[in-house]
Amino acid sequence: MTKNINDVIDFANHKVEVEHGTVPQEKVVKGIASDENTKITMQTYNHYTDPTERFFAGIWQSSIGAKNVSYTEEEVCVILEGCVRLTDLNGNAKEFSAGSTFVLPAGFKGTWETLEPVKKIYVIWEPK
């Protein structure tokens, strides 16, 4: 099926319902930018889901805090604002800030720490 210009999704002009959420307390890492009462809040603006519901793209925002992650999906991240630190299970870490683009591969396990409130573009592919 051929698509036309009306099928192109321009995030700036595409209105979507914001999904508000919090990180489940069992995933919050205590003592790393978090404490017993930390609620890590998130907003997701999913601009695109393909017909198979395995490919997604949009904008995601999060407050400061750290959470345990275990990726089953492949994700491209473009940091628009803020700063994050990713740490693998061996303790190796990298920081990414505004202007950074990186891929989180399926199988990555560790910690996602939001050091400054972050806003990112995400593109996700979730295998079956």
pLDDT digit string, tens, across residues 115-124:
999 999 999 9
Q: Give me the pLDDT at residue 29, please.
A: 85
Residue 48 has pLDDT above 80, yes or no: yes
Instruction: Reply yes or no on whether the pLDDT at 34 is more than 70.
Output: no
pLDDT surpasses 80 at 30: no
Half-sphere exposure of 20 (CA within 13 A, CB side): 1
Whether 122 and 71 have beta carbons less than 8 Å apart is answered as: no
Identify the pLDDT of residue 5. 94
In the chain, the domains with their CATH numbers are 40-128 (2.60.120.10)
Q: pTM for this one? A: 0.89
Q: Is the dihedral of CA 10, 79, 59, 87 positive or negative?
A: positive
Is the pLDDT score of 128 beyond 90? no
Is the pLDDT score of 4 beyond 90? yes
